[in-house]
Amino acid sequence: MVTRLSSSVNSTVDNGGLGKFKPNESTFLASLMPKKEIGADRFLEAHPQYDGRGVVIAIFDSGVDPAAAGLQVTTDGKPKVLDVIDCTGSGDIDTSNVVKADADGCINGASGAPLVVNSSWKNPSGEWHVGYKLVYEFFTDTLTSRLKKERKKKWDEKHQEAIAEAIKHLDEFDKKHVKVEEASLKRAREDLQNRVDFLRKQADSYDDKGPIIDAVVWHDGELWRVALDTQSLEDDPERGKLADFVPLTNYRIERKFGVFSSLDACSFVANVYDEGNVLSIVTDCSPHGTHVAGIATAYHPKEPLLNGVAPGAQLISCKIGDSRLGSMETGTGLIRALIAAVEHKCDLINMSYGEPTLLPDYGRFVDLVDEEVVNKHRLIFVSSAGNSGPALSTVGAPGGTSSSIIGVGAYVSPAMAAGAHCVVEPPPAGLEYTWSSRGPTVDGDLGVCISAPGGAVAPVPTWTLQRRMLMNGTSMASPSACGGVALLISAMKAEGIPVSPYTVREALENTCIPVGDLPEDKLTTGQGLMQVDKLDLLVLAFAF
């Protein structure tokens, strides 16, 4: 991470160099969410009203938790997360089965369980769409593992009580009947012994497939509504009943979310499609997406040093990581995400996903990004370059191998090394992380466009049971750069300057400061470390 001590940065620019770093509380907190390195703090000091307001960023990732710290509102009080979409279909529930309630307001759930609907719920048609799903299918492996351990612990306690009770009955029988000669007594003792043996064997064959949740969808005359029965998740049989659920509708309408149970602390949103026949329950498939969103836009009014780069910006969460594939993205999910970004009229897309490719600038997804998203609808697409360095030609797709996408490498400053990474002897100047991917691409392109801080302590989903987490990677550098661009777009919109992806990219690359003295350093750093506070003047010059 800090072995290339020969790298240097223009000493006239304050980009978090060691000479300016003092290990006090404020500088430590600032190092956890780096903004000084790219000049975002200087830009906001000069233009506090251009903090991302009026800008909408689509986050193509593993999903954003709307309940996470700092992701509720913007600096001007607007909702932070405008929509949450599962582009993969991994949370879909088939709710095409329609049932009617009996005189007591009871319906048969898709799982076979009897469910009582709330009498206050409006349902003019009287039709209830029902479906069910194993709840573990919504959760990450980490959360599932935690829940299984906690559920196993409680199960063991009850199971040991049952074994102890069975042994007690067997002992009482043996004390009462010294000689067991009658056939009826023999059968009775055999039955008691079988109970003990069965309970002991059951402990060895324990396999928690997970609770089943029942879902109910109906139309209240105006909107499609959703309620879940989560009794199987709760210890108390009086909790989690369908009738007690506060109904949800498509997130973009009311921007409300639910929580499965206090045990998992996993928040979710609901979207209804196909006239009530498909219910999409959206959860994240890793903390990655929420962390990325926090770097770009988190707003902490009581802890401003931990704000994201553009705290005034708003988000669209496009989940491209498929829970069924261990958070891997699919082509279908990516195309759906592009459609959503265009439909929501987003200004920016951040995609901190990628993998190796044989052919740069090739494929259906890249063609759509180039022709439709960037050229036609004029969105600015920012993506991570990859974490496969330091070997040559390790840049990943699409960030480092697509000409219409701004690929971002990961930079570390002395302040970040000392504060976030606790390096005892941080480098005297900023440099690229050694694992940050390098160009060139196989067709001779530079690969990396620019660099931005590649590490941060940012918000994570509530199910992690913590507010923030340290992550490193070009996945973190990309939203840092994206947030910086959001500041610029916020200023351009406020000043009435037309936003062009070509003008912004040219200004972005022309205002970077070099990282490293050697020509080949550009293969890792691109044009260098972006500088937001220099961008506005250059864009103005281009615009006029």
Cα separation, 60 vs 293, whole angstroms: 10
Residues for the chain: how many in total? 544
Indicate if 61 belongs to the active site: yes
Which amino acid is located at 403 in the chain? S
Q: How far is CA 101 from the centre of its chain?
A: 38
Is residue 218 within 8 Å of 121, Cβ to Cβ? yes
User: Can you tell me which residue has the tokens 């009530």?
Assistant: 276
Instruction: Count Cα neighbours of 529 within 13 Å in the Cβ-side half-sphere.
Output: 32
Is residue 63 within 8 Å of 138, Cβ to Cβ? no
Beta strands in 222-273 (DSSP E): 224-229, 258-259, 267-273
Indicate if 475 belongs to the active site: yes
Cα separation, 293 vs 504, whole angstroms: 21
Bridge partners (DSSP) listed for residue 270: 281
Cα separation, 367 vs 211, whole angstroms: 43
Beta-strand relationship, 406-412 and 450-453: parallel
Select which of 61, 284, 361, 445 is catalytic: 61
Is there a cis peptide before residue 440, judged by omega within 30 degrees of 0?
yes
Other CB atoms within 10 A of residue 520 CB: 10
Which amino acid is located at 47 in the chain? H
Is residue 510 within 8 Å of 536, Cβ to Cβ? no
Indicate if 47 belongs to the active site: no
Select which of 323, 475, 478, 480 is catalytic: 475
**Local structure of 525: helix, strand or coil:** helix
Is residue 440 within 8 Å of 447, Cβ to Cβ? yes
Please name the residues in contact with 184: beta carbons below 8 A apart, sequence gap of 6 or more. none
Handedness of CA 353, 356, 360, 364 (dihedral sign): negative
Rounded to the nearest 10°, the torsion over CA 45, 48, 52, 53 is 180
Which amino acid is located at 263 in the chain? L
Select which of 47, 219, 288, 300 is catalytic: 288
Beta-strand relationship, 348-351 and 56-61: parallel
Residues serving a catalytic function are 61, 288, 475
